[in-house]
Amino acid sequence: MPIPVTCSSCLTRFNVGDQHAGKTGPCPKCKKPIQIPELGEEIVIHAPESEPGAKNAAGKNILKPIKRKEAKFSLNITVATVGLVLLSIAIAWLLGNSDLGDNQFWALAGGAILLGPLLAYAGYTFLRDDELGIYEGSSVIIRSISCGLVYALLWGVYIYLGSNVFGDESFADGLEMVQIAGLCVPLLGIGAFAALVSFDFDFITGFFHFTLYFGVTILLRFVMGLPFLPGMG
């Protein structure tokens, strides 16, 4: 193989055949003597003989790399979510124009419980991080149900705390905005934590996940002709 040579006098670069290795000869340009370097040892990098990891009796690798499944935008899920919200608004409007009487509480409680898992699943499909992998099948169903029920339960906690901390009469007549904020802030934190535990979200993403449910249920209360939040005058 050719040997690269640089003349130390005129700095001309050229190649000579390997048969001249170690010899002295004139530079083809300035004619001054040049010492041709000796051939260096050739470095050969060999490919690994086999892949690392456990092998079977035939010597074949039995461990396969984990293939990450990337979650993609699902038109079906998006359409179903929008349809669910529109259907819920229509039902809320019908209930708001009906004389529910004492059944209003149970209608609100039933709606909160029913929407919880559905909106928890819908929010997960939008907010999940594909780089961390995705939950599927029974796993995502169980997680959505658990998270959604916690979200629904937080409405009960809100009403319970409002009535017991500020009194039934004050809660019914209407609380101050500072008092309402004092009830909402802890619930937002608990909701974000529930999403974090259920879907491995970070706290900020969990906050937005709970806010989706909280916002939809507040909108439905408004459609029914009720105050945005219980305790608002």
133 occurs within a structural domain? yes
Select the highest-mean-pLDDT range: 26-40, 48-62, 80-94, 185-199: 185-199
Same domain, 172 and 92: yes
Average pLDDT, the chain: 81
If one counts every other C-beta atom within 10 angstroms of the C-beta of residue 150, the result is: 21
Q: What's the Cα-to-Cα distance from 172 to each of 30, 61, 140, rounded to whole Å?
A: 105, 70, 39
Select the highest-mean-pLDDT range: 18-27, 37-46, 125-134, 170-179: 170-179
As for how many domains the chain has, the answer is 2
Same domain, 84 and 189: yes
Reply yes or no on whether the pLDDT at 68 is more than 50: no
Q: In the structure, what pLDDT confidence band is assigned to residue 32 with cuts at 50, 70 and 90?
A: confident
Same domain, 168 and 216: yes
141 occurs within a structural domain? yes
Q: Tell me, what's the pLDDT at 43? A: 44
The answer to whether the CB of 23 falls within 8 A of the CB of 32 is no
Of 227, 233, 192, the C-alpha closest to 108 is 227
Range of the domain at 208: 75-223
- Range 71-77 average pLDDT: 61
pLDDT in tens, 182-219: 999 999 999 999 999 999 999 999 999 999 999 999 99
What single-letter DSSP state applies at residue 13? E
Same domain, 11 and 88: no
13 occurs within a structural domain? yes
53 occurs within a structural domain? no
pTM for this predicted structure: 0.63
Same domain, 30 and 85: no
Q: In the structure, what pLDDT confidence band is assigned to residue 44 with cuts at 50, 70 and 90?
A: very low
49 occurs within a structural domain? no
Same domain, 104 and 23: no
28 occurs within a structural domain? yes
Reply yes or no on whether the pLDDT at 74 is more than 70: no
Same domain, 209 and 120: yes
